[in-house]
Structure 1
Amino acid sequence: MTDSVAAVEDGRHVRSMTVVRHGQTSYNAKHRMQGQIDIPLNSVGRWQVERAAEELRAEYVDGAPQDRHLLVVSSDLGRAAATAHAFADPLGQTVHLDPGLRERSFGEWEGASAEEVRQRWPEDYESWSRGAGGELLHGAETKAQVGKRGLETLNRWIHRAGPDTDLMIFSHGSFIAQALQALLGMASEYPEYLGLVTMRNAHWARLMPRDLPDGGLRWSMIDYNRGPAIAMRGDWDNPRGLVQTD
């Protein structure tokens, strides 16, 4: 889909990188801004991450050669960590927590619904909705700051993983969109960071590295906003027969 260059210090790099958004929370269901508030998965989210984990294991793990390895890393916020554990625990894999993968901070808007923000700060809401930065007046991280934090964090784990490793990253919607735009070089073309939409809950992006003659590395994005097949067939955010308890 798109690609860019990232430096690798020792020429060793991962086999692939998959970046997964956490499952649904009560704040997602109510369209509230979570930011870095530590909101757990709700019952729908727990169902979603089990379905996503099943498909990820089937696609990226089952039948893989024995010389391939997994490295599982998650934001330290509970909703992302629970999503990572749904994937990693059946495989006996350790989940490494990293606060560098946390969601973008939205300052004083965190916890408010989009409608509450619109009513209380209509001009700033309108500015935010068109990518003009109205949220920055309320203490939000800039998208460029999130992209820089994301790029630094991803590169640290890419370098740590080494060859023949599939790196699995579990994080958050805004963070993923902004970190991948920085990694792929899109931010220089679209400095307002509107090049990627926010992924759906428990969906993922997959990227593959390619060596360059000068020793650098080019990332190619194979999938973005991909989810389990059931997400396309039914109501992913309100599955039939599942009673939402929180």
Structure 2
Amino acid sequence: MSSTLQGSYYHWRNRYLLMRHGHSQANEQGLIISSPERGLDAFGLSETGERQLDEVVENWVWPTPTRIVHSDFLRTTETARRVADALGVPMEKDERLRERYFGEFDGQKAALYEGVWVLDDRNAEHAEHQVEPVARVAARMQAVIEAWEARVSGETILLVSHGDPLQILLTAIAGKPLTGHRDQAPLEPASITLVDKSA
């Protein structure tokens, strides 16, 4: 597990808002949509998700972001766009914020997540069923923050991503074993978590 973020955690130059996309058509249908082939152009926000985002932007209680960086999947792009339009903030995509790839289970029922999480709890490096390893997800998610830390200072950056990647990132930031990423409280659709460890 990369410890780069842990070492610099109390000296970040920026603060970060971590946002899970709003309720999606994949959530509505109970499907795992984790590949670019399925997720880039389909399975956007559901009507429930659109209502969630309307409520979030209408009742915004977090620091106003200076920029929004989002996964390029449709559901995250639509989420980011609603916030960007409401707050007048620029947005840009970053493929490193994509959903965790669930391999053989992509396109299948969401009930299959549980079996993957059981395997995660044993080994953060496992790639059984061609699932993307937790450690790899942690590395790419941390790399996004590392890149922004090197690029700008004093900003509030909203990162719009997906449930598993964000929980894995929060676990890494806390310096906890990645095998326990499901010990994090589940992130609800359209939820926002403030991580502020700027100097």
Same fold by TM-score greater than 0.5: yes
Answer yes or no: is 1:206 the counterpart of 2:194: yes
In the TM superposition, what is the alpha-carbon distance from 1:12 to its structure 2 partner? 6.8
Looking at structure 1, the residues matched to 116 and 132 of structure 2 have their Cα atoms a distance apart, in angstroms, of: 15
Greater helix share, 1 or 2? 2
Looking at structure 1, the residues matched to 116 and 27 of structure 2 have their Cα atoms a distance apart, in angstroms, of: 22
Alignment match of 2:102 (pick from 72, 93, 106) = 106
Cα gap change, 1:96 to 1:168, in 2 (>3 Å): same
User: Would you say the 8 A contact 1:21–1:172 is kept in 2?
Assistant: yes
- Structure 1 segments (4+ residues) deviating >4 Å: none
Answer yes or no: is 1:191 the counterpart of 2:148: no
Q: Deviations over 1:127-157 (max 9, x none)?
A: 6447346x83211101111111111112212
Looking at structure 1, the residues matched to 116 and 83 of structure 2 have their Cα atoms a distance apart, in angstroms, of: 38
Cα gap change, 1:126 to 1:195, in 2 (>3 Å): closer
Larger RCO, structure (CA 8 Å, separation 6 or more): 2
> For this pair of structures, how many residues does the alignment match?
186
RMSD of the alignment, in Å? 2.5
Tell me, which stretches of 5 or more residues in structure 1 are unaligned? 62-68, 119-124, 212-246
Q: Deviations over 1:163-208 (max 9, x none)?
A: 1x11111110001001121122123xx5343331330100011111
Greater strand share, 1 or 2? 1
| TM-score, scaled relative to structure 2 | 0.81
Cα gap change, 1:195 to 1:155, in 2 (>3 Å): farther
2:13 paired residue number? 13
Tell me, which stretches of 5 or more residues in structure 2 are unaligned? none
Looking at structure 2, the residues matched to 31 and 200 of structure 1 have their Cα atoms a distance apart, in angstroms, of: 15
| TM-score, scaled relative to structure 1 | 0.67
Looking at structure 2, the residues matched to 41 and 137 of structure 1 have their Cα atoms a distance apart, in angstroms, of: 29
User: Would you say the 8 A contact 2:17–2:158 is kept in 1?
Assistant: yes
User: Would you say the 8 A contact 1:147–1:182 is kept in 2?
Assistant: yes
Cα gap change, 1:195 to 1:44, in 2 (>3 Å): same
SS at match of 2:196: strand
2:29 paired residue number? 30
